[in-house]
Amino acid sequence: MVYGIVLGLLLVLIYRYDIKGDNVNRDFWYHVVLISLILISGLRYRVGADTINYIYAFYHDIPHIVKLDQDTSGFEPLFLLMNSFVKTLGGKFYIVQILQAIFVNGLVLAYIKKHSQYLFSCIFLYCFYCFPFYNYEEMRASMSVALCLYGNDYFLEKKWVKGILLFLVGCFFHYSTALLLITPLLLFLRFNFVGYAVLILSFGMGYVIQQRFGDYLMLLQLSGEVAEKAENYANHDILFQQRINMFGVFSTKISLVLYMIGAYYYIKLKSKQGDDYILKFQPFVILGSIFVLFSVPMPIAYRFVRFYNIYMLFFFVHFFMDVVKNNLQEMKSLAWVRALVLFLPFCNAISHEYREKYGGDEWSHNVYQYRRFYPYYSVLDKGTDKEREFFYRNWEIGNLVNKDEY
């Protein structure tokens, strides 16, 4: 219900501000949406599989500030400090959730507002494509993602020191960010012969990396005791993704990359003058596409796609909104149908994470992935979902957390 209210509001705002071009009270509604997303994330109750692990660590592993030298949680320093500070002051874990939600959604939505003329369309797609993962699953990594977005802006402006400093701060929220410190060396990437060659090679390189370094790849995702508590969960996730057949690979991973290529050429060739400013982000769209292709043989690489989701979102929204505006002006119903059909494969590509089942044949009872996020319950009512609780118990994480510890 709460998801539907926010998405419904965004549809109205899209029509009023992104399509019709009205500017009255635009900032007011932007802040309404931002506060709504912060509250949805911050006040959630037992929503998100990784969240359960973070709760356990908060109450059982993370020390008070005066005992930080005895830390056994395995968290990176800045995320650990935030948790320890809240715990020392006697706060519950939902306070950590609220702080994380303010940090991530505040920075990401401000970034969208800074760079896209289609503000509410981008936020709508962010809610569907990124929000559950940034807020419910990858709490540490998403804080790093939010910082790296601004670091990338500095790189484009050739302010190398500022950009690298932001990336280094991001490393103290999630160590895997260190791999992305090579970003300044990859800004030459464009949708040209070199760019396509790199994309093609990345598909094969993923297989080589998986075969030679597969045992070490989990280090890029989790660390310490949190990794041990999530190991069963992560292994099931990897096994699920590795079972995707070639049709699934094409309809999800490959089609997403093809959409980015198509969006680039459409924006470059057919968008109205002045709309192509978004093309400056093509190095980051290509980097995101590279990690998408890496993830076919190496599922853990999809965690790095999260660092570039916002840029891919920019490309798609500008592509889609230009087509919609043209059809709106022509008032041709058939043109509208063609536009919707054109974008259905994209919707399929970004929604497969919700629609697939976890567990496979080894479970007598299967749970769809979307069950991690829906139905929604808050700390105000402390409701639980039987399907989700079954999901937690089978991955040996739900029984680690006392339901009253919130």
Q: Over pLDDT 90: what percentage of the chain?
A: 50
pLDDT in tens, 339-396: 677 788 888 888 877 877 765 444 435 667 888 898 999 999 888 888 888 777 766 5
Q: Which value, in Å, is the radius of gyration of the alpha carbons in the chain?
A: 21
Please spell the DSSP secondary structure of 328-361, one letter per residue. Answer: HHHT-HHHHHHHHHHHHHHHHHHHHHHHSEESGG
Query: At 161, which amino acid appears?
Result: V
Residue 281 exposed, middle or buried by CB count within 10 Å (0-12, 13-18, 19+)? buried
pLDDT digits (tens, 9 = 90+) for 294-318: 888 777 788 899 999 999 999 999 9
Average model confidence (pLDDT) for the chain?
83
pLDDT tens column, 122-161: 999 999 999 999 999 999 999 999 999 999 999 999 999 9
Q: What is the pTM of this model?
A: 0.88
> For residue 334, what pLDDT is reported?
64
- Domain edges within the chain: 188-355
Query: Do the Cβ atoms of 174 and 140 come closer than 8 Å?
Result: yes
Calpha distance 196→158 (Å, rounded): 25
Q: How confident is the model over 225-243, as pLDDT tens digits? A: 444 444 444 444 444 444 4
Per-residue model confidence as pLDDT tens digits over 254-270: 888 999 999 999 888 87
Rounded Cα distance, 364 and 7, in Å: 34
- Report how far apart, in Å, the C-alpha atoms of 241 and of each of 41, 91, 219, 249, 297 are: 26, 37, 18, 10, 9
User: Which is more confidently placed, 59 or 203?
Assistant: 59
For residues 179 and 163, what is the distance between their CA atoms, to the nearest angstrom?
14
pLDDT in tens, 175-210: 999 999 999 999 999 999 999 999 989 878 877 776
Q: Evaluate if residue 10 carries a pLDDT over 90.
A: yes
Q: Is the dihedral of CA 147, 149, 151, 157 positive or negative?
A: negative
Average pLDDT on 41-55 reads: 91
Q: What SS3 string covers 63-84?
A: CCHHHHHHCCCCCCHHHHHHHH
When pLDDT is cut at 50, 70 and 90, the band that residue 84 belongs to is very high
Banded model confidence at residue 336, pLDDT cuts 50, 70, 90: low
d(Cα 293, Cα 117) in Å, to the nearest integer? 29
* Confidence class for position 212, pLDDT limits 50, 70, 90: low
Number of neighbours of residue 173 by Cβ within 10 angstroms: 27
- Band (pLDDT 50/70/90 cuts) for residue 1 is confident
Output the six-digit token pair for 289: 């596409």
pLDDT band at residue 331 using 50, 70 and 90 as cut-offs: low
Task: Provide mean pLDDT across the span 10-34.
Answer: 94
The model's confidence at residue 101, banded by pLDDT at 50, 70 and 90, is very high
Q: Is a pLDDT exceeding 90 seen at residue 93? A: yes
Task: State yes or no: pLDDT of 399 exceeds 60.
Answer: no
